Structure 1
């Protein structure tokens, strides 16, 4: 499942990151860590690709205003809509940090992309992020005029955001709406057991202590992880969820959990396209065109092509 060695561009990215001392994220001041993360994201997302328009707004969430950023493609609508959830272990990350990714996805897919700034742990543990994610999908489904939407709807996310995209797909299927036509899961945080082969890759991007900190901050206990709305791999029945694209990375602790979830979807009769980028690392696609990893754009274009196929859009 992994190539003989990490791709040279991914290794160069790791080498650049390695100039900073690597120690557990949990040992850093969280407020300072988020500030540093925002500054790094600003540099990473400078000079982003143009889209038709962007709009920062708030929508009604379960705990007050919920910030979202709307990206509209060039041309005349209406367009299909993709609701996107960023990664960051449920503790870090923001719509600003994935601005470049969402812009590229908008351009490549000709879809309106709605990026959601859901509440973060540990201040807001499970199920806060799920509640925000589902509220955002309901809002997108009910806001066709505001979004210039044609009513077709997909969800997407990377890492923790991939978990949320899978969870809201499950919730929508069980609650009979809103109708989600497709889900794109990029190295999703699902199906982790602590015993999968890929979990030996801790330390390449994330330390084992980092993963444990994320788990404790968001889930709180192993008992929560048995809840299918915390980890959809635990769901008894996945047969009603939307068709999916699942992308994993060879040198990623989350790889085998994502693969196992794709296999469960297939067993439930859900159409799935699964691809493992065997020479890539966790997080490789989050900043296409800025992190020096060409395969980041390849992943964005794959997701966009799959969305286009699902929605019957011309290439």
Structure 2
């Protein structure tokens, strides 16, 4: 590790979560480790007007609203965790902050996790939640079915990108897509950045759990880079210099731009994977959140 490349806050942040080597046998411990580290990583979240659990088309979800207006725009949010860890609780703080800063409602989806529920379970769950947002039940919650953005971090960024493309193919117009340190490329050809947190073996475990050997990973639902990217909604892509996923996220942003999609792509120097969620540890997380809120104000 080159100490000069690592932001001081990133160096401290890497010591917060207890690292558990990922195997099928240790997965329960890895899931628990993420949950236990959440208070130290995310910190206290703002009190907002309304947080309720909803059944989003058969998918459990949590709806955040910090305004009391009808026809609120809404962000459909997919949490990170390699498709195998994480839940609405690990991302509760981030969703509260996003709802408070943006004025949009946020629907956080508790999609089914791999390997118990491999592809296409998570993709289908997010799609069902989107369909619910476009139906009459969402309107009864004061949401605008015509003004929906999709968002996610890490593996949730992958789900958001796939959902945006699926929506376009179905003729559904979305307001935008927010991809935070997204997983994009199943080829798993990663740079040697293992010492900065997320490592190559973890990513191989995640991909094998989500899309087991034998599944065609070249299909657009697994490899968004192979899709026709024209006509997709405007995008914000946030990457971190020392994240082994930064290159593929930036390749996807470049592909969107080449296809004529409006893209804002920002790389944060010296930072590590998924720093925007860790609001208690990174000053830059609050800067990134402010950027996302500003974009949502424009959408």
Is the TM value for this pair above 0.5?
Answer: yes
1:241 positional shift? 1.1
For residue 173 of structure 1, the aligned residue among 168, 171, 185 is: 168
Q: Does 1:141 align with 2:134?
A: yes
**Distance in 2, Cα, partners of 1:259 & 1:113:** 25
**Distance in 2, Cα, partners of 1:46 & 1:147:** 28
Query: For residue 203 of structure 1, what is the aligned residue in structure 2?
Result: 195
Q: Does 1:38 align with 2:38?
A: no
Q: Deviations over 1:5-59 (max 9, x none)?
A: 1111111111444xx4x55222752223323332333565564211111001223
* Equivalence map 1:50-69=2 (5 Å): 50-61=47-58, 66-69=59-62
**Distance in 1, Cα, partners of 2:29 & 2:114:** 15
Q: Secondary structure at the match of 1:97?
A: coil
Query: For residue 186 of structure 1, what is the aligned residue in structure 2?
Result: 180
Q: Secondary structure at the match of 1:298?
A: helix
Q: Secondary structure at the match of 2:277?
A: coil
Q: Secondary structure at the match of 1:26?
A: coil
How has the CA–CA distance of structure 1 residues 28 and 187 changed in structure 2, closer, same or farther, with 3 Å as cutoff?
A: same
Q: TM-score of the superposition, structure 2-length normalised?
A: 0.92
Query: For residue 13 of structure 2, what is the aligned residue in structure 1?
Result: 13
Contact 1:71 1:106 in 2 (8 A): yes
Structure 2 segments unaligned to the other structure (5+ residues): none
Q: Does 1:214 align with 2:214?
A: no
Contact 1:140 1:147 in 2 (8 A): no
Q: Deviations over 1:136-155 (max 9, x none)?
A: 11111214423312331100
Contact 2:193 2:242 in 1 (8 A): yes
Contact 2:42 2:277 in 1 (8 A): no
How has the CA–CA distance of structure 1 residues 127 and 3 changed in structure 2, closer, same or farther, with 3 Å as cutoff?
A: farther
CA RMSD after TM alignment: 2.0
Q: TM-score of the superposition, structure 1-length normalised?
A: 0.88
**Distance in 1, Cα, partners of 2:260 & 2:214:** 29
How has the CA–CA distance of structure 1 residues 74 and 287 changed in structure 2, closer, same or farther, with 3 Å as cutoff?
A: farther
**Distance in 2, Cα, partners of 1:258 & 1:167:** 13
Query: For residue 219 of structure 2, what is the aligned residue in structure 1?
Result: 227
Contact 1:246 1:275 in 2 (8 A): yes
Structure 1 runs of 4+ with >3 Å offset: 42-47, 192-196
Structure 1 segments unaligned to the other structure (5+ residues): 311-315
Query: For residue 66 of structure 2, what is the aligned residue in structure 1?
Result: 73
**Distance in 2, Cα, partners of 1:44 & 1:4:** 23
**Distance in 2, Cα, partners of 1:195 & 1:98:** 28
**Distance in 1, Cα, partners of 2:197 & 2:283:** 18
**Distance in 1, Cα, partners of 2:63 & 2:271:** 29
How has the CA–CA distance of structure 1 residues 145 and 27 changed in structure 2, closer, same or farther, with 3 Å as cutoff?
A: closer
Contact 1:24 1:209 in 2 (8 A): no
Contact 1:166 1:232 in 2 (8 A): yes
Contact 1:24 1:207 in 2 (8 A): no
Query: For residue 265 of structure 2, what is the aligned residue in structure 1?
Result: 274
For residue 124 of structure 1, the aligned residue among 92, 117, 120 is: 117
Q: How many residues align?
A: 296
Q: Deviations over 1:48-92 (max 9, x none)?
A: 21111100122333xxxx110000013433311110000000000
Q: Does 1:309 align with 2:295?
A: no
For residue 249 of structure 1, the aligned residue among 240, 247, 253 is: 240
Contact 1:90 1:160 in 2 (8 A): yes
Contact 2:69 2:142 in 1 (8 A): no
Q: Does 1:25 align with 2:22?
A: yes
